[in-house]
Structures are given as structure tokens and as C-alpha cells.
Structure 1
Amino acid sequence: MKKLRHKKNVLVEAEEKRRDLGFGTQITDPDTRLLNRDGSFNVKRVGGSFWGQFDIFNQLIICSWKRFFSLILAFYLILNLIFAFIYQAVGIENLLGADQTNNHSRFLDAFFFSSQTLTTVGYGRIAPIGFWASTVAAIESLLGLLIFALATSLLYGRFSRPVAKILYSNKAIIAPYLDITGFMFRIVNEQSRQLIDIQVEVAVSMLEKQENGKFVRRYYGLNLERSKVNFFPANWTIVHPITDRSPIFGKSKEELLDCDAEFLVLIKATEETYNQTVNSRTSFHAKEVTVGAKFLPMFSDVQGAGVITLDLNKLSDIQEVPLVSQHLPSSEASI
């Protein structure tokens, strides 16, 4: 029985060492980041089929507004240019009312007639005559209806999709915490819409050298002072107490850099307006960790205002402090 229990413990320890967050253990390049600061995964897929990776609807839903409108405008202009050339190929004389003065005016009239047909506006100054010009105009009108129906669904999808607009401090810090130290970073909800039941998970990824001399990537979950709050109206400083059970206990900033430490953050919450689960993620690389600092308050002192004022511009404001504790006899000690 004792041997069986010992074997079980060995298997459990081996499974703990194999644990990862989905990135695997073979990513050992110290210059490769797992998770970008904006929450996107630093992974590029190659070798797949075109249709397997083709997901333009999803890309248009999640891309930035600037990129979205730029793509819509580019598509609109290119499509009208294509039809303008088609009308010219059919014969600009088949567009009744078009200016036939010169090539420039003929092309402009074909282009603007295409835009009016595509949007089904049809001012009436120019009209197609003949079979081929009328056929092209009919096809373009149908295409315009389909395209604007798709654009409407994209706009609705973008507006109706709940997103967690959580801002993160520019850097994480190692700061005094009780009689020890703690790994900390600060977050705040940028939007006025509220988030409730916020849950935070933090893990650290580090390279470890094996007996055979090869490096593998290990992942360790970090215990937090508080991993869940019910309400999130102000800022929240998330703290991992660096006790003797912490995977980064006793490690200096240089040692964290040498093992390519990256702190991976996942936040889940319920968005109050749509009552749907939203998430946000980011990471802090070891080079983005400041040792010996504390966050400054974000609350603005407005006398007689009768309301709590939170200055989001102070999210990343820090102040250097010495790290002195029973584990750190001086500010020059290891973490």
C-alpha cells in the first residue's frame, strides 16, 4: 500500500510538471513572447488550407473601428472602379445621359453611375440602355443589396458584441506586501458599463534546464491575495504574495530575465448590460517588471464634490520604495 501511494504521488508530481496553458513545453526561444500586451496570441499558423483559415466575418467583427471602416471604404471604391471599367467595356454610349466630352468625364460618369446603382439610389440623370448595360446594372443592383445587408449585420454584430474594456498598468511591480513582498499589477474598467463577478487567473511561464541540458517551458499557477470580486467600480491591484511556496520566490530580476519569465493574465467577468460573459487577457514579461516600487493612488481629491473621482491617467503611476522584509534584509536582496 505504501509503495502504491508513493507511486501515485510520483505520477501526480510528474503530471504537475507537464501542466501547461495550451502553448506546450517546446517553445524555448527566449525572444519569443507567448501572449502580446493587447491580449492576442503570438502564434502564426502556416501550412493550412486557404479555406481553413478564411474567416473574414470574424476578422471584421473583432478588428478595430479604424481598420473596419478603412476596409469598407477600400472595398466600396474598388468595386465601383471594377464596374466603371465594365461599363466602359460595354460601351459608355449605352449609358444615356453620360458626358461624352472626353475620356476623363466618361470614366467619372461611369464610376458615379456605378455608385448610384450599387447603393440603389438612382438619381435618374444617367440610365442604361441596351441589353448588356442593363444586365450589368441589374447584377450590380442585386450585388449592392447583398453587400449592404452584410454590412448592416457586421455593424450590428460589432455594436452588440460585449467587450471587456479593461486597462492594465504598463508594468507589473515587485512591492512590499505585509512582512514579505508581492508581485502586483493594476487594472481598471475603462467603460461606464459595469462588470460584475470578476475572476482573475495568473500564471507564470519559465524556461527550466533539464538533466540532459535541454530547456523546456514550465507553467505555474500563482496564488492570489484575492482572485474574485463581486463589483468593479474602481481600480483593482492584483497581488500574488511571494511566499516560500511561490515559483518566483528568491529569484532576482536578472534570474527572471534569464529564465524568460512571462506572467500570463486571464480575466473573466459578466457584462451587466447584455448579461454575458466577457474576458480580457494580457501578459507581463520579466523585462516589464519593476522591482522595488509601489502604485500611487488613482483617486483625485476633490473637496465637496460628493462623488468619488478616479483618474485613469494615474493607472501606471509608481513610486520607488526599498524592499525590506524578513526574507529581504536589504533592498539589494533577491525577490
Structure 2
Amino acid sequence: MNLVFATFYSMGLHPIANQYPAGFWGAFFFSVETIATVGYGDMHPQSVYGHVIATVEIFTGMMSIALITGVMFARFSRPHARIMFSHNPVIRPIDGQMMLMMRAANARQNVIVDASARLRLIRQESAVEGLQIRRIHDLHLVRHQHPMFVLSWTLMHVIDESSPLYGMTAADLARTDSMLVLSLDGTDETTTQTMRSRQSYNHEQIRWQYAYADLLYKDEDGQMHVDYTRMNEIRPLTVVEQPTG
């Protein structure tokens, strides 16, 4: 901006009094002093043309500085959720029912109060008239709210007769180009600002008959900790863990 206004000053007929050094660089230094509202007093406009350019530069500079300051404040004062999601959802039996599971962890280790989660299935379906439609289905979670989301949270959806996933296989998910969308939101206890985060999974990322590794462990003092390095660690189910009958 200083280079542009220095060019305008240079186009006039001696618009700056006591200009030093002469030529473009003197106009550039005057532009810097003007836009910064320093006002040393050595150089000043001495013609109508110079006053007009200086007036435009002052208003432009003040508005630009105010705009940049506001944008930077809004950008850096905004809290970041920093919620980690597992790379792969898993489908496995629990208590005799097939369960879709995925997990999240709060990497900030601050408290997110009244956290809530929503899970949706998006897939290609055929209407009665043969029209292909992308439809969104809500998947009910066993627990969709968490009073204090601090460490980790395993989200589970029971695949029963009421579930849109009931009776579907990995091939069915691929044929319908299915995708899972998980969204989390809550309130940061420190700043009282809303925290939001979202993760999507395509059908190829779902692992059937797999289990997550345990994240939580206790130290010698009995304090609970989370090992985030095992966030994405999964293992195939053993024969004992497979459902019988």
C-alpha cells in the first residue's frame, strides 16, 4: 500500500514539502509516516493534490488497520476443539448384539461440558420411480450426551431391527456408496464458547469384527491417563470373542 501511494505522490508536481530524499523513496517514506499517523512534521503536503492523496491514504490506512486487527483477533481468539477421532469405525458383537463403534478423544485435556454427538448415515438409495437419491439416516447412539468430555468417548450404535444398517454387509455398504458422518459439539468450560468438530468415514474405512485397543491406564498414584498413541490401534477379534449360535 505504501508503494502504491508513493507512486501517486511521485505523479504530482512537488506535492510534499521538505521531501527527503528527493524522488520516489522520499515519497515512500512520507507515505509510511502518513499511513502510520506518526506525523514527524518535517515532510507535509504542500499542494491540493498532495492533500487529496494524503487524505485518501489516511482513511484507507485507518480502515485497513482496523479491519486487519479485527480479523486477526477473531481468528486467534476462536477456540479450537482439537478433538481426535479414530481412523476406523469398527463393527463387533457386544452383549449378543452387533454394535457400530467409533471413538473420540479430547486432545486439549480441558473440560467440554454438555457434549453431544450425532451420527448419520448417508447412502445411495432408489426411489419407487427408480430415481437415485442420496438419503440421510440418523443413527441412534447408545449415549449421545456426555456431561464432562475430558478424556475419551466411545460412541456406539446398536445394529438392531430399527437400525438402517440392519442386515447390511460390507458389500451392501459399498454398493450403496455409504458414508458415516459424526459430529460433536459442546461448551468449553474455561471460555464458555461452543466447540464443534466433525469427522466422516467412507464404507472402506469400516472394519468388521475388530476391536479397539484400550486407551486408559492408571499410574502408580492411581491417576487416570489416556494413551493417545493407541487411538487408532485396532485388532481382529479372537475366536472366543466371536458370537456363538
Same fold (TM over 0.5): yes
| 1:269 pairs with 2:186 | yes
Paired position in structure 2 for 1:149: 66
Paired position in structure 1 for 2:155: 238
Paired position in structure 1 for 2:203: 286
SS of residue paired to 2:117: strand
TM superposition shift of 1:246: 1.8
Uncovered stretches (5+) of structure 1, i.e. residues with no partner: 1-78, 101-105, 330-335
Instruction: Pick one of 222, 227, 233 that aligns with 1:317.
Output: 233
SS of residue paired to 1:268: strand
Instruction: Pick one of 93, 96, 120 that aligns with 2:18.
Output: 96
Aligned counterparts of 2:214 and 2:166: Cα–Cα separation in 1: 27
TM superposition shift of 1:136: 1.4
- What amino acid is aligned across from residue 18 of structure 2 in structure 1? L
Instruction: Pick one of 48, 54, 62 that aligns with 1:131.
Output: 48
SS of residue paired to 2:10: helix
TM superposition shift of 1:200: 1.1
Distance 1:321 1:107, change over 3 A: farther
Q: Is the 8 A contact 2:120 2:182 kept in 1?
A: yes
Aligned counterparts of 1:308 and 1:88: Cα–Cα separation in 2: 69
TM-score by length of 1: 0.63
Q: Is the 8 A contact 1:202 1:264 kept in 2?
A: yes
Paired position in structure 2 for 1:47: none
The answer to which structure has the higher helix fraction is: 1
SS of residue paired to 1:145: helix
| 1:214 pairs with 2:131 | yes
- What amino acid is aligned across from residue 99 of structure 1 in structure 2? P
Q: Is the 8 A contact 1:95 1:133 kept in 2?
A: no
Q: Is the 8 A contact 1:205 1:219 kept in 2?
A: yes
How many aligned residue pairs are there? 243
Q: Deviations over 1:3-59 (max 9, x none)?
A: xxxxxxxxxxxxxxxxxxxxxxxxxxxxxxxxxxxxxxxxxxxxxxxxxxxxxxxxx
Q: Is the 8 A contact 1:202 1:265 kept in 2?
A: yes
| 1:299 pairs with 2:216 | yes
Q: Deviations over 1:162-201 (max 9, x none)?
A: 5533222222222342323321211122324421011111
TM-score by length of 2: 0.83
- What amino acid is aligned across from residue 97 of structure 1 in structure 2? Q
TM superposition shift of 1:122: 4.2
Q: Is the 8 A contact 1:177 1:241 kept in 2?
A: no
SS of residue paired to 2:81: coil
Paired position in structure 2 for 1:164: 81
Distance 1:124 1:190, change over 3 A: farther
CA RMSD of aligned residues (A): 2.8
Distance 1:85 1:300, change over 3 A: farther
- What amino acid is aligned across from residue 217 of structure 1 in structure 2? R
SS of residue paired to 2:235: strand
Paired position in structure 1 for 2:96: 179
Q: Is the 8 A contact 2:15 2:47 kept in 1?
A: no
